[in-house]
Amino acid sequence: MKFNIKCYSATKLVFNELAEQIILPGDDGEFAISVNHMKFFSIISSGLLRIKREKSDSLGLFLISDGFVTVENNNIQIFVNFAEPITYVNLAQVEANLKNLKEQFKNCEAIFEKEKISNEIFKLIIKIKAARFLKQ
């Protein structure tokens, strides 16, 4: 069995595919949605979105921002400000970038710059988490 997932960012349709299960980040941890799930609406947190694709053992991984998800009649719609597919993670490079950004954050005094750096640090932490799933 399968359901249809559509993910929209602020500017485009990011993906539209069939899947067996999706795991989303929430405020209280991750939650899963499977085939024939009841009608549902939820706020989602920034983090790692995982999709178990139909007819394969492949896992789709996406870095997503805060947003919301709706489920009705085996159709899932996800609305976020951004969504970025993760297919490969150069772990050494990501860890080096993370170390560099943490140092920049420490030395930065402008609040706007600190927020920007903080967002980039968050993305790198999610990419490190994704690397664990890509190794499985």
What is the 3-state secondary structure of 61-123? EEEECCEEEEEECCEEEEEECCEEECCCCCHHHHHHHHHHHHHHHHHCCCHHHHHHHHHHHHH
Over residues 52-80, the pLDDT tens digits come to 887 666 778 999 999 999 999 999 999 99
User: SS3 of 127, please?
Assistant: helix
CATH number at residue 62: 2.60.15.10
Say whether both 76 and 9 belong to one domain.
Answer: yes
107-130 pLDDT, tens digit per residue, is 999 999 999 999 899 989 988 888
Residues 81 and 97 in one domain: no
Domain limits for position 114: 91-135
Provide the domain count of the chain.
Answer: 2
pLDDT tens per residue across span 33-52: 999 999 999 999 999 999 98
